[in-house]
């Protein structure tokens, strides 16, 4: 049976920016290492005059050439070893706010997407990817979405907050409309795209990366985005699934207070639009009561070394004895296949 | 057995601000109403900000919710089977002013108003004081005043003074609260303009609930309870259904850092959480333990958490054992609030 890693990563490197063209080359990120007062050396990108982190979230259980996609065969071989047929690739740099300058954002997104397309072209059936869109300029974002979809992207990467808007804001409706038309799901990945909120929360990972996504997912459901865009699929990626019962409980207290809405205990389990990537330490028998059999996926966070990283997550899930093997198969294949349109 | 409502509210009115000093009267909040439109509620105007007076349980008599007639409130509590209510504000749910002098004036007046209200009935009402966090030199005075006048806790919101609650800025507060045996009560609310205003149209999940859950996580992650070993912390009005998630996440983070994670994280950190009757308590209790859940009615309000019969429903539901129910209704809030 094929298995799909619903959340794997690339680590951006110098090659990522080799796709900058013409005048955009002036925006090329510059890598820098800084000896911190703590004694650690930390690695950053300089982008638009800002020091942007993310170059240290690197999994030592993966080789550099695999993480940075310098050697695709090496990556594929490792995937074979860990029992993964297909990986869906998400960025690393963009998990945090990178720039609030539209031309810089556009340039970096374009270069990243072209790098990803190049990678995909070498392993089309095994490496798919989530497009990074320049959301500060919606018109350009839609152009990039269309281009990316034609070049191997199978999802739109967004963070829990994007630009200066919550995810249910009408600002994003053109994106959702076009993503629906192109059959591209929205992968709300652990991360944040707003400098002010990120700084207000001290960049604390649980708050800015995890809670932001849960809040974004909640606000989209509460504000009827799935109903407004009935073909749109929305996933919460790399935030575990243990919060799903909490979310369902809270929504069901709020729905009856809204005009025209009633409580929907099956808000996730009865939906074919909502998906969540789980972790092996989630109480899956309990979570499944709320999520249902058809909405969970799983990812390894390949390439990273953070709280969500578990290289052998897919293998371990297979070995879990506390849920029905048929459900395990769905989590490993059918559900991510449906979410990412890989059927 | 004393049954304790760990989260009840008062609705402030014009007399709340009667305790301002002469020099502070210029900061006095004013009730204003829109002259056009269909808002069924009015607003407080404070320092140029409009605060809606919308979260009001209009099925309760105004004298009960504003505590202008305590006998009415007490009669209702008797009907509901509640012996003691711990009173929280309503006005202070959002950030109000960036000016320390205004913040101080509001806090002082509220605290004196509450002290006056409950002074005749300390056996039925206790309260949570609001500290003037922008004027740290005045915090000590307010904490002592509160303690001497029936307060059993210190009101904090999920974020305060544009900071996270694990910030060293608050260490002096925690030290003093520990010495005075006052619980820190982190209520569903947000005191930071940046995040509050970002979520302007959010009904409360992102700007209030998740903010408080984030505070819980920060405090445990940064070992604040270990730094202040007498400090007790309440996590109020965000339900308890999130506890398994937060504990799972913390456990992973501790493991990655090679740090031991307690088997009873709430107990070991002296953290108490208000549950709701719709929580899956049999599941939540596996993480929270029997000694660290409390419950409240949100009396006075009409929001997501409001359930006036919550305490009675918990008793009658039979979903969990009676010994644990009694702990939630009595022993645990007594421990949290030092009653």
In order of their start, the domains of chain B are: 4-28+62-337 (3.20.20.140)
Tell whether the torsion through CA atoms of B213, B219, B222 and B226 is positive or negative.
Answer: negative
Task: Report the sign of the C-alpha dihedral through residues A338, A112, A169, A278, in that order.
Answer: positive
Q: Which helix (H) or strand (E) holds B284?
A: helix B281-288
Half-sphere exposure of B76 (CA within 13 A, CB side): 20
Q: What is the mean pLDDT of residues B221-243?
A: 98
DSSP B69: -
% of chain B surpassing 90 pLDDT:
94
Q: Which conformational region is residue B155 in: left (phi greater than 0), alpha (psi within -120 to 50 degrees), or beta?
A: beta
Residue pair B124/B45 in contact (Cβ under 8 Å)? The answer is no
Q: What is the pLDDT of residue B34?
A: 77
A196/B205 touch (CB, cutoff 8 Å), yes or no: no
Lowest mean pLDDT among A129-138, B33-42, B79-88: B33-42
CA dist A251 and A274 (Å) reads 14
The predicted-structure confidence for A276-292, as pLDDT tens digits, reads as follows 999 999 999 999 999 99
Specify the pLDDT at position A96: 97
DSSP assigned state of B299: B
Contact indicator for A189, A7 with CB cutoff of 8 Å: yes
- The secondary structure element, H or E, covering residue B211 is helix B210-221
Place of tokens 């509901």: B80
Is the pLDDT at B264 greater than 90? The verdict is: yes
Residue B85: pLDDT band with limits 50, 70, 90: very high
Separation of CA A57 from chain center: 15
Q: Is the predicted pLDDT of residue A142 greater than 90, yes or no?
A: yes
Q: Which of B203, B245, B277 to mutate to test the interface with A (most CBs of A within 10 A)?
A: B245
Share of chain A above pLDDT 90, in %: 94
Residues of chain A contacting residue B301, judged by C-beta atoms under 8 Å apart: none
* Residue found by looking up tokens 């009595």 in the block: B330
3-state secondary structure chain A: CCCEEEEEECCCCHHHHHHCCHHHHHHCCEEEEEECCCCCEEEEEEECCEEECCCCCCCCCCCHHHHCCCCHHHHHHHHHHCCCCEEEEECCHHHCCCCCCHHHHHHHHHHHHHHHHHHHHCCCCCEEEEEECCCCCHHHHHHHHHHHHCCCEEEEEECCCECCECCCCHHHHHHHHHHHHCCCCEEEECCCECHHHHHHCCCCHHHHHHHHHHHHHHHHHHCCHHHHCCCCCEEEECCCCCCHHHHHHHHHHHHHHCCCCCCCCCCCCCCCCEEEEECCCCCHHHHHHHHCCCCEEECCCECCCCCCCCCCHHHHHHHCCCCCHHHHHHHHHHHHHHHCCCC
Residue B289 Ramachandran class (φ > 0 left, ψ -120 to 50 alpha, else beta): left
- Per residue in B148-193, pLDDT tens? 999 999 999 999 999 999 999 999 999 999 999 999 999 999 999 9
Residues of B in contact with A249 (CB under 8 A): 239, 241, 278-280
Distance from CA of B162 to the nearest CA of A (A): 7
Please check the confidence at residue A1 and state whether its pLDDT lies above 80: no
Kindly state the helix (H) or strand (E) to which residue B87 belongs, with its residue range: strand B84-88
Instruction: Report residue A50 as tokens.
Output: 């800002």
Q: Residue A42 forms beta bridges with which residues?
A: A34
Mean pLDDT over residues A166-182, rounded? 98
CB contact under 8 A, B253 and A222: no
Interface of B with A (CB under 8 A): 159, 162, 164, 192, 194-195, 198-199, 201-203, 205-206, 209-210, 213-214, 217-218, 221, 239, 241-242, 244-245, 248-249, 251-253, 256, 278-280, 283, 304-305
pLDDT of residue A259: 79
Per residue in A184-201, pLDDT (tens digit) is 999 999 999 999 999 999
Sign, CA torsion A319/A320/A326/A328: negative
Average pLDDT over residues B255-267: 96
Between helix B243-256 and helix B210-221 the angle, nearest 10°, is 30
Q: Identify the pLDDT of residue A29.
A: 97
For residue A294, pLDDT over 80 is answered with yes
User: What span, in angstroms and rounded, lies between the C-alpha atoms of B200 and B46?
Assistant: 17
Say if residue A52's pLDDT is above 80: yes
Report CB contact under 8 Å: B206, A219: yes
Using the beta-carbon criterion (under 8 Å), do B198 and A196 form an inter-chain contact?
Answer: yes
Q: Which domains occur in chain A, in start order?
A: 4-9+72-339 (3.20.20.140)
Enter the pTM of the model: 0.96
Q: Do A196 and B214 touch (CB under 8 A)?
A: no
Among the partner-chain residues A211, A282, A307, the one whose CB lies closest to the CB of B210 is A211
Does A166 contact B201 at a Cβ distance shorter than 8 Å?
yes
Q: Which residues pair with A128 in a beta bridge?
A: A88
- Residue A260 is predicted with a pLDDT of 81
Reported confidence tier of residue B35, pLDDT bands at 50, 70, 90: confident
Average pLDDT of every residue of chain B: 96
A3: distance to nearest CA of chain B, Å? 25
Q: Rounded CA gap, B87 and A78, in Å?
A: 59
Element (H, E) at B74: helix B70-80
Predicted confidence at residue B40, as pLDDT, reads 76
Q: What is the ipTM of this complex?
A: 0.94
Residues of chain A with Cβ-Cβ distance to B245 below 8 Å are: 240, 242-243, 246
For the four alpha carbons of B186, B187, B192 and B198, in that order, the dihedral sign comes to positive
What integer pLDDT is reported at residue B203 of this predicted model?
94
Predicted local distance difference test score (pLDDT) of residue B47: 96
Query: Mean pLDDT, to the nearest integer, of A127-153?
Result: 98
Q: What number is the average pLDDT over the span B281-301?
A: 97
Q: What is the pLDDT of residues B181-231, one digit of tens each?
A: 999 999 999 999 999 999 999 999 999 999 999 999 999 999 999 999 999
């Amino acid at each position: 049976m094929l298995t799909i890693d619903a959340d794997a990563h690339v680590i951006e490197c110098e090659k990522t920016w080799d796709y900058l063209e013409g005048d955009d080359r002036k925006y090329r990120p510059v890598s820098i290492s800084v000896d911190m007062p703590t004694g650690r050396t930390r690695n950053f990108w300089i982008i638009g005059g800002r020091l942007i982190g993310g170059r240290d979230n690197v999994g030592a259980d993966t080789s550099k050439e695999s993480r940075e996609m310098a050697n695709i065969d090496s990556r594929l071989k490792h995937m074979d070893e860990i029992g993964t047929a297909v990986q869906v690739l998400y960025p690393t740099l963009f998990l945090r706010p990178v720039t609030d300058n539209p031309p810089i954002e556009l340039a970096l997104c374009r270069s990243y997407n072209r790098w990803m397309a190049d990678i995909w072209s070498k392993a089309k059936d095994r490496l798919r990817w989530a497009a990074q869109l320049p959301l500060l300029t919606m018109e350009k974002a839609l152009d990039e979405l269309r281009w990316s979809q034609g070049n191997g992207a199978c999802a739109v990467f967004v963070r829990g907050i994007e630009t200066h808007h919550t995810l249910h804001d009408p600002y994003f409706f053109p994106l959702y409309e076009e993503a629906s038309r192109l059959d591209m799901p929205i992968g709300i990945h652990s991360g944040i795209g707003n400098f002010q909120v990120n700084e207000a929360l001290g960049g604390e990972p649980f708050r800015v990366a995890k809670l932001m996504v849960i809040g974004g997912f909640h606000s989209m459901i509460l504000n009827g985005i799935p109903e407004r865009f009935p073909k749109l699929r929305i996933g919460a990626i790399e935030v575990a699934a243990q919060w799903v019962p909490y979310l369902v409980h809270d929504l069901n207290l709020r729905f009856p207070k809204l005009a025209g809405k009633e409580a929907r205990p099956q808000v996730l389990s009865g939906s074919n639009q909502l998906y969540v990537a789980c972790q092996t330490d989630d109480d899956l028998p309990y979570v499944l009561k709320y999520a249902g059999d058809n909405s969970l996926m799983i990812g390894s966070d390949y390439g990273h070394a953070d709280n969500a990283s578990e290289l052998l997550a897919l293998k371990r899930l297979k070995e879990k004895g506390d849920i029905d093997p048929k459900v395990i198969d769905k989590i490993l294949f059918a559900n991510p296949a449906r979410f990412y349109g890989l059927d | 057995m004393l049954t304790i409502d760990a989260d009840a509210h008062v609705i402030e009115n014009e007399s709340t601000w009667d305790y301002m000093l002469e020099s502070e009267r210029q900061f006095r909040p004013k009730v204003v109403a829109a002259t056009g439109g269909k808002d069924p509620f009015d607003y407080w105007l404070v320092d140029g900000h409009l605060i809606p007076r919308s979260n009001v349980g209009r099925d309760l008599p105004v004298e009960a919710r504003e505590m202008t007639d305590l006998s009415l409130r007490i009669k209702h509590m008797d009907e509901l089977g509640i012996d003691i209510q711990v009173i929280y504000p309503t006005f202070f749910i959002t950030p109000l002013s960036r000016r320390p002098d205004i913040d101080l004036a509001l806090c002082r007046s509220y605290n004196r108003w509450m002290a006056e209200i409950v002074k005749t009935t300390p056996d039925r009402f206790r309260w949570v004081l609001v500290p003037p966090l922008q004027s740290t030199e005045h915090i000590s005075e307010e904490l002592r005043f509160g303690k001497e006048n029936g307060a059993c806790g210190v009101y904090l919101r999920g974020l305060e003074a544009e900071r996270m609650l694990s910030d060293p800025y608050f260490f002096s507060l925690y030290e003093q609260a520990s010495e005075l045996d006052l619980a820190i009560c982190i209520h569903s609310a947000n005191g930071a303009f940046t995040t509050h205003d970002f979520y302007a149209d959010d009904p409360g999940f992102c700007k209030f609930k998740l903010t408080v859950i984030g505070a819980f996580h920060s405090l445990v992650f940064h070992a604040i309870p270990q730094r202040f070993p007498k400090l007790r912390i309440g996590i109020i009005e965000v339900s308890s259904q999130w506890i398994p998630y937060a504990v799972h996440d913390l456990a992973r983070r501790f493991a990655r850092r090679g740090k031991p994670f307690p088997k009873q994280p709430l107990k070991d950190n002296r953290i108490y959480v208000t549950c709701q009757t719709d929580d899956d308590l049999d599941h939540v209790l596996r993480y929270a333990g029997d000694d660290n859940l409390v419950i409240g009615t949100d009396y006075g309000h009409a929001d997501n958490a409001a359930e006036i019969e919550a305490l009675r429903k918990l008793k009658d539901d039979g979903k969990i054992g009676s010994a644990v129910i009694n702990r939630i209704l009595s022993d645990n809030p007594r421990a949290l609030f030092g009653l």
